Amino acid sequence: MIGTLNALIDLVDRNTDEPIDLAGFARSHGTTEYHLRRMFASLAGMPFSEYVRRRRMTLAATDLVSSDTGLLDLAVCYGYSSVEAFGRAFRSVHGVSPSDVRAHGGPFVTQAVLRFRLTVEGSRPMDVTITDRPAFVLAGHAAQVPLIYEGVNPHIQQHIASIAPEEHARLKSLNDTEPAGILAVTAGSEPDAPEGTPITYLHGVALQADSTVPEDLSSIPVSAGAWATFRSSGPFPQTLQETWAATATEWFPSNPWRLRPGPTFVRYLELTGSHADAEIWMPVERS
């Protein structure tokens, strides 16, 4: 995966005038677009589309100050059909217009070429279990919330607080399959969604595929397949988020598995104040 990501980075600079065929690239490297986008965003800290835009606008700024190429020709060179669209993309990255940079030489922002490396430390073994599960349904109370990668998500907290205590007991009584207990489910976002993107958060339980879901509850069907379950124990939410990040930086690059489309969720085994014992469930397939 590290080699594949670096090959993708090289492709970005070689193809500045047309969209990157990420699906085709993923197939040619024995992986999927979904997994590639998730790994890129997790390791780079930005979606692939954002890196492409920043990198192309960096190269465009260099051309502006070092050549007299017309703006329309530059727009076409970097994949835009009009000067206006090129100008909007340029300003979104640099905060100034192409004409300002041409006239004054800057200032403009540069996006360096990324290079992915796998650092093997071995300081923290990851406790993971791979299981095959039949199709099931996630049912519970859902809400649209903004995606937040670090710290407590106050929108999720507010949603959970709005659920009456007796409703938690009812949800547990509906749970008729593994994984057992209340689950914190996230779904409905692109694999490389930036922070702030609306996602679906569902506070609910797992039901068998043929179980009846009460009409007042939302549901998410889950296809049969393999699941990687990562155990996390420590200060909440820091340890949980660090474990989530380590799946991308340590586990997936070192193991013959990749993510497949589907919801991810957390099963809390114990949550007391600022400490949590939990499991992160991710849908996976052999790579």
Q: Domain 1-104 has what CATH class?
A: mainly alpha
Token look-up 């199709």 returns: 135
**Residue-wise pLDDT tens digits, 202-254:** 999 999 999 999 999 999 999 999 999 999 988 888 888 888 888 887 888 87
Number of neighbouring beta carbons within 10 Å of residue 196: 10
Token digits for 18?
A: 């047309």
What's the pLDDT score for residue 211? Answer: 96
The domain limits of the chain are: 1-104, 128-286
Confidence of residue 120 (pLDDT cuts 50, 70, 90): low
Residue range 38-46: mean pLDDT, rounded: 86
Confidence of residue 119 (pLDDT cuts 50, 70, 90): low
Which CATH number applies to 128-286? Answer: 3.20.80.10
For the cut 90, the answer to whether the pLDDT of residue 159 exceeds it is yes
Amino acid identity at 50: E
Question: What is the H or E stretch that residue 225 is in?
Answer: strand 225-235
What's the pLDDT score for residue 164? Answer: 92
Q: What is the pTM of this model?
A: 0.74
Residue range 141-161: mean pLDDT, rounded: 89
**What's the number of CA atoms in the CB half-sphere (13 Å) around residue 156?**
19
**Residue-wise pLDDT tens digits, 83-116:** 999 888 888 888 888 888 888 777 787 888 888 8
- Cα separation of 286 and 119, whole Å? 23
What are the backbone dihedrals phi and psi of residue 280, each rounded to the nearest 5 degrees, phi first? -100, 125
Under DSSP, the state recorded for 104 is H
Nearest to 192 by CA among 12, 22, 11, 7: 22
- Cα separation of 51 and 248, whole Å? 18
What's the pLDDT score for residue 118? Answer: 64
What's the pLDDT score for residue 19? Answer: 85
Name the more confident of 44 and 221: 221
What's the pLDDT score for residue 227? Answer: 96
What's the pLDDT score for residue 135? Answer: 97
Mean pLDDT of the chain, nearest integer:
88
Token digits for 113?
A: 């070429």
